[in-house]
Chains A and B, each alone.
Chain A
Amino acid sequence: MPRKPKKHSHSLRHRLVTFSPFARSKAMATRNRGATKVIEKPKLQNKDLATSSFNGFKNNGKDKTQQSGSSASSDDEEFEGDVQADFVFFDPKPSDFHGVKVLLQTYLDNLQWDLSGFVDLILGQPTVGTVVKIENDEDDAVYSVVSALNLGRYKDSKCVLELKDYLLKVCRDMDVKGKLKSLVGEHVQDVGLLVSQRVVNLPPQLLPPLYNGLFDEVEWATEDEPTEELQSSFRFKFYLIISKIYKHKSADQNGGTVKNGEETLIYNRPEDEIFFMLSSWSFSFPSHAQQVTANELKNYRPMGLVMVVEASKISSFRKQLHSLIDE
């Protein structure tokens, strides 16, 4: 595979590529447990094409991984005191149940809901969705999962009903609640729930190919799915995203601004900031799940964030994510 000249060796040598002091502290806390052995080497390989059953998809899959393969391999770095990992993207399959379930444990805060059913929905969609694992890992652990589920297609399943009820319950913002109701009511067929969870210290270089892969798969599914109904189920007009943020405790009192130059909002994940800027509307709600709080976060309250992004804004998202990560 052709290797492009290393661009970031100096920047990645001692500093972790993160976007906020909080993310840096979290990433360092989990990374420094590593052995003295090897190096971070995110590398893409062909997706497990054996599980995909559409011929058209196979060709597209190969083209996609070849181009992104060469861009990812330019990130080969050598640094000491870190763990080497070759990340591989796979289609979700039923044997990933336990790994994916662990990643989704706090998806709806501390609500007791049909999480197993929800995981089954994700695993039942091998054509749209990706699971990230490490090559030749004995434990076969899942490091990240992304998927897009059409809420209308699964509207009768227990987990989706519980999810809808939960969102309607935690939404305290009255003007937004009306929009939320119509989104999960009449327009539910056009809504894709964008599920994206990963381990805290997953290298951010993986994010552009991960999201590009997902949105490409959604596009291919609109042509490759066996029935017209399934094809149209992937023609999303809106993406619904549930994620977590940290809000400064005094943000609400001072009318949205915070003194000391501290940030009002801290995003757990870099792509959330881009989604938030592109979102049509959003709301946040206080989170009750027990969390470990870093010292830098003592002035912040953990919140859940729900956003809706129009599907037309996705190409802009992809560009912005690419430029953000490749800085």
Chain B
Amino acid sequence: MTTRLQYENNCEIGVFSKLTNAYCLVAIGGSENFYSTFEAELADVIPVVKTSVAGTRIIGRLCAGNKNGLLLPHNTTDQELQHLRNSLPDSVVVQRIEERLSALGNCISCNDHVALAHPDLDKETEELIADVLGVEVFRQTVAGNILVGSYCTFSNRGGLVHPHTSIEDLDELSTLLQVPLVAGTVNRGSDVIAAGLTVNDWTAFCGSDTTATELSVIESVFKLRDAKPSALVDEMRKSLIDTYV
């Protein structure tokens, strides 16, 4: 299920929110509409937490996370850190990291198993990502762009990348990430995928300028048409893997 929404007349909702399989972060400010749209979709399944990061509303671009953990930039305040630690489930490790490139959401793109990282991230940061998020980290570029976190978004089921990604790059990334990938746009031709779209395994939110064609591409690559919350899917997957062996 994909929902179209706006944040104060702005369709770049991936900037003001962060959605994972275990929690959802939403920026403070704007009208209550933004928060309540997320609540309506997710409230029964995962916590929806209103927060700011480093005193700003651009939380989606400053932090990176998945169901295992959440990474915050060095300029996150102590109160914000405490608030997040209190509001998120105990299984989620919340960690503030010292990294020069502080817009972690623009530098890191991840799902629950794999992460793509900006080629210039520190070695310690890469290790922290692997530790806190429980993922395998690959330094990569997407269509020649080093801001991998901005130009590609992927969940455990599929991914969407910058429209100018070549077929070879698509294949290479798909092999690394082990999910099907498609090159496309969001918000009526915008190539900054992660700014216009935020997605987890069973639901997605995109800006209201997104056309019906873009929406159908999103729904098909992320397999959202008959998706259920991932807790159930994980149970199924465990039993399936047993039978493969």
Residues of A within 8 A of B (CB): 97-98, 105, 110-113, 115-116
Query: Do A112 and B190 have beta carbons less than 8 Å apart?
Result: no
Query: Do A112 and B188 have beta carbons less than 8 Å apart?
Result: no
CA–CA, A47 and B31, complex, Å: 41
How many Å from the CB of A176 to the closest CB on chain B?
27
* A98 (CB) vs chain B CBs: closest residue: B190
Query: Do B31 and A112 have beta carbons less than 8 Å apart?
Result: yes
CA–CA, A105 and B189, complex, Å: 18
* B29 (CB) vs chain A CBs: closest residue: A290
CA–CA, A97 and B10, complex, Å: 13
Knowing A98-B188, A105-B10, say if A116 contacts B208 (CB, 8 Å): yes
Per-position binary interface string of chain B over residues 6-32, scored 1 when its CB falls under 8 Å from any chain A CB and 0 otherwise: 101111000000000000000000010
Query: Do A110 and B188 have beta carbons less than 8 Å apart?
Result: no
Kindly state whether residue B33 has any CB partner on chain A within 8 Å. Answer: yes
B9 is contacted by which of A97, A98, A112 (Cβ under 8 Å)?
Answer: A112
Kindly state whether residue B209 has any CB partner on chain A within 8 Å. Answer: yes
* 7 nearest A-B pairs in the assembled complex, by CB-CB distance: A116-B209, A115-B9, A112-B9, A105-B9, A97-B188, A112-B31, A110-B8
How many Å from the CB of A69 to the closest CB on chain B?
33
Query: In this complex, which of A97, A110, A111, A112 has the most chain B Cβ atoms within 10 angstroms of its Cβ?
Result: A112
Query: Do B8 and A112 have beta carbons less than 8 Å apart?
Result: yes
Query: Do A113 and B188 have beta carbons less than 8 Å apart?
Result: no
CA–CA, A260 and B242, complex, Å: 83
Tell me if B's interface is mostly helix, strand, loop or mixed.
loop
Query: In this complex, which of B9, B10, B33, B190 has the most chain A Cβ atoms within 10 angstroms of its Cβ?
Result: B9
| Inter-chain contacts of A110 with B (CB < 8 A) | 8-9
Query: Do B190 and A113 have beta carbons less than 8 Å apart?
Result: no
CA–CA, A105 and B190, complex, Å: 17
| Inter-chain contacts of B11 with A (CB < 8 A) | 116
CA–CA, A116 and B11, complex, Å: 10
CA–CA, A116 and B190, complex, Å: 14
How many Å from the CB of A40 to the closest CB on chain B?
31
CB under 8 Å from chain A, chain B span 163-209: 188-190, 208-209
| Inter-chain contacts of A105 with B (CB < 8 A) | 9-10
CA–CA, A111 and B189, complex, Å: 25
CA–CA, A105 and B9, complex, Å: 7
CA–CA, A113 and B9, complex, Å: 7
CA–CA, A116 and B6, complex, Å: 11
CA–CA, A115 and B189, complex, Å: 17
How many Å from the CB of A294 to the closest CB on chain B?
22
CA–CA, A100 and B175, complex, Å: 39
* B7 (CB) vs chain A CBs: closest residue: A112
CA–CA, A98 and B192, complex, Å: 13
How many Å from the CB of B208 to the closest CB on chain A?
7
CA–CA, A111 and B31, complex, Å: 10
A-B contact pairs, 11 of them (CB 8 A): A97-B188, A97-B189, A98-B188, A98-B189, A98-B190, A110-B8, A110-B9, A112-B6, A112-B9, A113-B9, A116-B11
CA–CA, A115 and B187, complex, Å: 14
| Inter-chain contacts of A116 with B (CB < 8 A) | 11, 188, 208-209
B33 is contacted by which of A97, A98, A112 (Cβ under 8 Å)?
Answer: A112
| Inter-chain contacts of A111 with B (CB < 8 A) | 9
CA–CA, A98 and B33, complex, Å: 23
| 19 additional contacts (CB under 8 A) given A97-B189, A116-B11 | A97-B188, A98-B188, A98-B189, A98-B190, A105-B9, A105-B10, A110-B8, A110-B9, A111-B9, A112-B6, A112-B8, A112-B9, A112-B31, A112-B33, A113-B9, A115-B9, A116-B188, A116-B208, A116-B209
* A95 (CB) vs chain B CBs: closest residue: B189
| Inter-chain contacts of B8 with A (CB < 8 A) | 110, 112
CA–CA, A110 and B189, complex, Å: 25
| Inter-chain contacts of B10 with A (CB < 8 A) | 105
| Inter-chain contacts of A97 with B (CB < 8 A) | 188-189
CA–CA, A113 and B33, complex, Å: 13
How many Å from the CB of B7 to the closest CB on chain A?
10
How many Å from the CB of B109 to the closest CB on chain A?
23
CA–CA, A113 and B6, complex, Å: 10
CA–CA, A115 and B188, complex, Å: 14
| Inter-chain contacts of A98 with B (CB < 8 A) | 188-190
How many Å from the CB of A65 to the closest CB on chain B?
30
How many Å from the CB of B68 to the closest CB on chain A?
36
CA–CA, A113 and B10, complex, Å: 11
* A104 (CB) vs chain B CBs: closest residue: B9
* A113 (CB) vs chain B CBs: closest residue: B9
* A101 (CB) vs chain B CBs: closest residue: B209
How many Å from the CB of A24 to the closest CB on chain B?
29
How many Å from the CB of B185 to the closest CB on chain A?
11
| Inter-chain contacts of B31 with A (CB < 8 A) | 112
CA–CA, A284 and B111, complex, Å: 51
| Inter-chain contacts of A113 with B (CB < 8 A) | 9
CA–CA, A174 and B6, complex, Å: 34
Per-position binary interface string of chain B over residues 207-243, scored 1 when its CB falls under 8 Å from any chain A CB and 0 otherwise: 0110000000000000000000000000000000000
CA–CA, A97 and B190, complex, Å: 11
